[in-house]
A and B are shown apart, each in its own frame.
Chain A
Amino acid sequence: MSEPVGGWRRQRALLDYALGSLRRRGRRNGAMVVALMVVVGVYASVLFLSESLRHEWEQTLEATPDLVVQRMVAGRPTTIEAGALEAVVPTDAPGVRRAWARTWGYLFVEAIGANLTVIGAGPGERAFARSLVGEPLPAEEGEVPFCLVGDALAERLAVRPGDRLAIPDARQETRVLEVAGVFDAASALHVADVMVVREATARELLALPAGQATDLAVELARPEEAPVVAAGIRERMPDARVIDRRALVRTYELTFDGRSGLLGALLVPCLAALFLLAWDRLTGLGDAERREIGVLKAIGWETRDVIAARLWESALVAIAGAWLGVLLAYGYVFGLGAPGLAGALFGWSALHPELALTPVIDATQAWTLVGLVVLPFVGVAVVPAWRAATLDPDEAMR
């Protein structure tokens, strides 16, 4: 028999023992796993939800121009003369890289009970169309107009590329469109219900009179100059409302960081309670456990073997509990759309009742989260494990 055994084979044997020990103390360890699962599940749900919403927002903001100019009538945005573009945002205005009139709007489709966002891919929107679809709309118009739809919408409408789609326009007249492509709606919140069509088609669907645009979009050479450019626009067009993208970013940061920060703070006592529980469980060595450790020491287990076995045991509990919690949260947030939590915390689920959030968590991040739970948990277990392991072997003899 070869005495010098270190490394993996020894650890495997100790892991085997730890597994057996978990089984023998099943109820107690099970309770611990469940407690961990619940706390990690709640924490991960909030984290996943806010991360996912942050992602949605970032996607939206990416597609948002630096400045958007709306014409206000009676305090509400209304259509704007497309021809006014040059007068309002002269192409040679300092700081302006590019400006264009946008044709887009909402179209309520009763059959699916949803508000479609119809976007006219005009000359200025081609980049946007490409960013959504990867490619612009087909150049040649067939006998019926083309449209591109997001995958979620395609599923709801039950259409695939090549299919024809009949939808009522704003005047309730049926229009037939051919689905030229389905794009991956990376951002569920803002483009899931998007339909991209040629500008002329958008006008027809939305009943937007010729020469009218929804708003004006401005791309700046340097985003810091937004206030100066906006002031110039307001001077040239007194009834304009100019929306600064950076203001949206700030709002979003306040909303999300503020809310998830608050939640994080609320979870601290929960976690503290859990670790106290863990501490109590791991420190309070039962009589039977004490005896068992005495036996192990007496029959030739070294201190490090006992410590390793106990650490394996708590690591297994922590890994099981944390993974279950993460999986639970994943299913709850990305599978079910975080019912309850989303509405309560962020107030938008009422607007998007069937919203399916895009998972923004990958395996590495999930493991990181699990690691963040497992490491302190095992860390907490080190001291009692060491205390137990240094019991004198002759204690087993009493």
Chain B
Amino acid sequence: MSEAADEAAGAEEAAAGEMAAEEPVVVAEEVVKRYFDGGRRVLAIDGVSLEVAAGELVVLMGPSGSGKTTLLGLLGGLITPTKGDVKVAGRSVVHMRDHHRTAWRRRHVGVVFQELMLVPGMSLLENVLLPLAPLGGAGKDEVARAEALLARFGLGDERDARVRRLSGGERQRGALARALVLEPNVLLLDEPTAHVDAENAEAMLELIAEETARGRAVIASTHDPRLAEDARVSRVVRVEAGKLA
């Protein structure tokens, strides 16, 4: 792929950045996702429409298997919908060439996965810097920013620790740091409080609220009612059997 194509994507992106001020950052329109799992067909998401604006913290509530992870993947451009459209920062991520979509995601979307997905053999800092490699790696500024992020998350002393040595709460916050290292407009969190105790869950929620206050559009899935009832949450959306209730 040429650098010119990258540059073109960059220019469009700048234009979209201006648009994002007026429009919701994430827009899903009549999204359907059907899985084909060896002869079995699963309608995981069945016609969902949703808009999330900058500075909003939206919680997706629903039982296990209701389609929360799938919906987050669709909203972040990680999963291609069977039908419908998803716009992130003003551009449809459905009708994009693969590498453009990836570049777009890298720029606009940070994700904390349900299973965190940190690389166990790497240090925490290496994990946090991993998204920077396609951009030419981490320079001094990027390392400083990542370190500041870790310090703010109470992980300053763990920066060189192997991930497999860290506690559940530390990993959770480490994964959040990695999702934020490229300053995304959209932050997606899949069950951010599932693996931690009440104290760590509260710390996590506080960090999430801070990031929302910085103007990011934040969407978190959970089946934990305490999260749904928290005052810092802007909106709770119920997901049931692939539909918004």
Where the two chains meet, the residues of A that have a C-beta atom closer than 8 Å to any C-beta of B are 1-7, 9-10, 12-14, 16-17, 20, 24, 288, 291-292, 294-305, 309, 392-394, 396-397
Contacts and interface: CB of A to CB of B under 8 A. Distances in A.
Interface string B28-65: 00000000000000000000000000000000000000
B6 interface: yes
Contact of B9 (A3, A13, A303): A3
Task: Name the interface size band of chain B.
Answer: 35 or more
Nearest to A297: B102
Interface string B109-141: 001011101111110001000111111111000
A9 B137 contact: yes
A299 B178 contact: yes
Contacts, number: 112
Among B73, B107, B122, B133, residue most surrounded by chain A Cβ atoms (within 10 Å): B133
A394 B122 contact: no
Nearest to A306: B134
Contact of B133 (A291, A292, A297, A301): A301
Give 4 nearest A-B pairs by CB, closest first: A13-B137, A300-B106, A9-B136, A4-B6
13 contacts: A3-B6, A5-B136, A10-B134, A10-B137, A20-B126, A288-B120, A292-B119, A295-B119, A296-B130, A298-B113, A298-B117, A304-B1, A396-B117
Nearest to A296: B130
B204 interface: no
B99 interface: yes
B4 to A, nearest CB: 9
A298 B103 contact: no
A3 B13 contact: yes
Given A13-B132, A299-B111, A396-B117, A7 B3 contact: yes
B79 A1 contact: no
A6 B135 contact: no
Nearest to B99: A302
B27 interface: no
B134 A305 contact: yes
Among A2, A3, A297, A301, residue most surrounded by chain B Cβ atoms (within 10 Å): A3
Contacts of B2: 6
A6 B99 CA distance: 13
B237 interface: no
Contacts of A291: 117
B190 interface: yes
